[in-house]
Every structure is written in C-alpha cells, then in structure tokens.
Amino acid sequence: MASFTQNGTRLCAGHLAAAAQSLADRATSVAIVTGFAIVDAAPVAAETDGPPGALLLARALTERGVEVALITDGYGVPALEVGCDLLRLPRSLIFEFPLEEASAGPAGRETTSSPRADAWVAEFLASGPGSRLSHLIAIERVGPSHTSRSFLAQRREGAPPIDEFHSDLPAESRDVCHNMRGMPIDACTGRIHRLFEAVSDRSSGVTTIGVGDGGNEIGMGAIPWETLRSAITIGPGGRVACRVSTDYTLLAGVSDWAAFALAGTFGRLRGTTSEVCDLDERNLRALVEALVRDAGAVDGVTGRREPTVDGLPLETYLQVFTGIRTLCGDDAR
C-alpha cells in the first residue's frame, strides 16, 4: 500500500511514538483484538499476520503488570491458544467474540443489525477486564466499509467526492467487512468493531489504537476515504476501505511489524528491555510455524497453510523483526 499523504503532509506521522507513550504512561488494562479470517482457504482459517504481533505485545504488557485480554472470534481462537501455550501466557486471557451472519435490513439500507455482538460488548464492558479498560488495540483486524454518514463525517480538506463514493460503494456494500479482493466476509467475521464504537460513543476515556497494512483494518477510518481509495493499489479500494477510526493508527508493510515496534517502544519507555527483544528470531520462527502446524493458520496473501506471512518468506519477515529488536534492545540505549 502506498504511503498516506494529504497536501504533502504524511498522515498518521508520529502515531507510533504517541501510542507507545500512552501505553507507557497509563496502561492498566488493555484489550488486544486480532484474527483475520481467510475465507478462500480450505477450510477457513485465521491468517499468520496479526496473532504473532498481538501475542508479543500481550507478553510485553503482562510482564510489566498490565492486565491483558486477547479478543478474537472462533476462527482466531486456535491461533491464540497455540500462541499462549508457546509464550507461556494463560489461555484465560482469550475472550471469544460471537460469530453471526449480518442481518440485512430493508433493501437499500446501509447498516446491519448485530444483536449478539452488541450484547457481548455490553457484557464485556460491564465486567472483568472490560470494565477497567485503559486501552483497546486492533492488530490486523478487519473492519466494515463506509456508510454515507461515516464518509461525510470524516475530516478532509475540500468537498467530499460524493459521486465517486456512490459509484464505488453501492448501498448493499456499505457497513460490510471485505477482504482485499472485495469479497464480503461478514459470515466468517465477528463484528468486534462494535467494541471500538461502544467505547467511543460512551466517551469512556479508553485510548484506541489500530494497526493495519492493507486499508480494510480497524483504525483506517482515520484516513479520508478518497485518500485510502487511491492508496490501495490492488483490489477495489473504495469498497474495502474501513470506516472505523482509532485515536492512533499504525501503518506498516506487515501489521505484525508495527505491533513489534509498539511492543519494543513501550518497553524502552518503561525503562526495561521489551519482550520483543527478549524473544529472538528462533522464538518467533517457532511461533509462526506452530500457528500453521497446530492451529491451521494460513498466509493471508497466498491462502496456503505454510509458514509465510503476507506472501513473504519467513526469512524476510524475520529480518524486519531483527531490526526492531536491535533498535529496542539494551545495545540501543
């Protein structure tokens, strides 16, 4: 995906440092959402990008006394269970969000109802770690496309391109989760974005962070629809662009890389070496291989059940992790 600029200004610049500082200053209870269902895999399974970043960040937080909840739907649970076992995190951190097919309303209606999702969100926020949340983070988690209301509510310079919006995104495709090929995937995706909307609507003081690499992930609503549409060079950008915004949006070539950087920066700001540094390339390789072998995870680009991430060989994926680990390690102090 191309870099995001508007009138020469790079969008989301400084968000990594600000998000890490927020975690270092005030994180007490953090919910991390991940798990992207690859519907053209047989069978449907979570992709390899997302769970590793979520798990390493969870470990970095829990080792510093921060309460953590890992949230995913049924397709992501096996990956998180395998990862928790490997990283010696308790499975009790995992919360399963319900799956349900979106209930379509009358013809032409833009939004869909989701009573099971709303009930789950209300219960989570009323008890346990949800009642104490300081931060809510999405790592490589799909969110729904725009509606007319969300499109018009975005901050932008100049008039909104209404004609292009209506042409690219007909009413039946609005408020729908899509993969990068433009396929609707609501039937295999719990509407976890409702959790982000709930904390925003309640003015709860919860800080939200979105991590993505494609444009259809939670957090990308911080970027104007037309900017995101132009930046998505593969697939129907106007249709897949996610409408859900977060306080901080972290962009990377692979979402895990931004999650590793967040974990590492948080650790340095807390004055101790982060677990993104304590875990070496061998550990991360073992984690990705276990997700594929034991949890059935697949590469999100190829759809194949093999230890690659976003179509990249594991060695390439690990090279960036190594760079982050070096920057955040004791030798960088």
Question: Per residue in 173-188, is it b (16+ CB within 10 Å) or e — as a string?
Answer: bbbbbbbbeeebbbeb
State both tokens at 263: 């974990």
Q: What is the pLDDT of residue 62?
A: 95
Direct distance between the N- and C-terminal alpha carbons of the chain, in angstroms, rounded to an integer: 32
Residue 180 C-beta-side C-alpha neighbours within 13 Å: 20
- Give the whole-angstrom CA distance, residue 244 versus residue 208: 11
Q: What is the pLDDT of residue 48?
A: 98
Taking the CA atoms of 181, 47, 71 and 234 in sequence, report the sign of the dihedral they define. negative
142, pLDDT greater than 90: yes
277, pLDDT greater than 80: no
Give the tens place of pLDDT for each residue, 63-119. Answer: 999 999 999 999 999 999 999 999 999 999 999 999 985 454 444 457 666 888 999
- Give the whole-angstrom CA distance, residue 57 versus residue 24: 13
- Give the whole-angstrom CA distance, residue 208 versus residue 192: 13
Phi/psi at 211 (5° precision): -120, 125
Q: What is the pLDDT of residue 106?
A: 44
- Give the whole-angstrom CA distance, residue 153 versus residue 165: 13
Q: What is the pLDDT of residue 9?
A: 61
Residue pair 30/137 in contact by the 8 Å Cβ criterion:
yes
Phi/psi at 104 (5° precision): -70, 140
- Give the whole-angstrom CA distance, residue 97 versus residue 21: 29
State both tokens at 250: 């972290």
Give the tens place of pLDDT for each residue, 228-247. Answer: 999 998 889 999 999 999 99
Residue pair 99/188 in contact by the 8 Å Cβ criterion:
yes
Of the listed ranges 19-28, 54-63, 99-108, the one predicted with least confidence: 99-108
Count helices and strands in the chain by DSSP H and E runs: 13, 10
pTM, two decimals, is 0.94
% of the chain with per-residue pLDDT over 90? 82
211, pLDDT greater than 90: yes
Average pLDDT (24-43) is 97
Which CATH number goes with the domain that contains 61?
A: 3.90.1640.20
322, pLDDT greater than 60: yes
Average pLDDT (203-226) is 95
Q: Which of 26, 23, 22, 78 is nearest to 48 (CA)?
A: 78
Question: Per residue in 204-231, is it b (16+ CB within 10 Å) or e — as a string?
Answer: eebbbbbbbbbbbbbbbbbbbbbbbbeb
Does residue 8 come out as left (phi exceeding 0), alpha (psi in the -120 to 50 range) or beta?
Answer: left
Give Cα separations from 113 to 18, 110, 251, 263 (angstroms): 34, 10, 30, 35
Phi/psi at 30 (5° precision): -125, 130
177, pLDDT greater than 90: yes
State both tokens at 240: 């897949």
43 prior amide bond cis, ω within 30:
yes
Q: What is the pLDDT of residue 261?
A: 96
Q: How do strand 94-97 and strand 37-38 relate by DSSP bridges?
A: unpaired
- pLDDT category at 219 given cuts 50, 70, 90 is very high
Q: What is the pLDDT of residue 273?
A: 62
- pLDDT category at 3 given cuts 50, 70, 90 is low
Domain count across the chain = 1
- Give the whole-angstrom CA distance, residue 153 versus residue 177: 19
- pLDDT category at 330 given cuts 50, 70, 90 is low
332, pLDDT greater than 60: no
Helices (H), 88-156: 115-126, 148-153
| Domain of residue 313, residue span | 5-332
C-alpha dihedral, 309 to 310 to 316 to 318, nearest 10°: -40
Taking the CA atoms of 314, 72, 231 and 258 in sequence, report the sign of the dihedral they define. negative
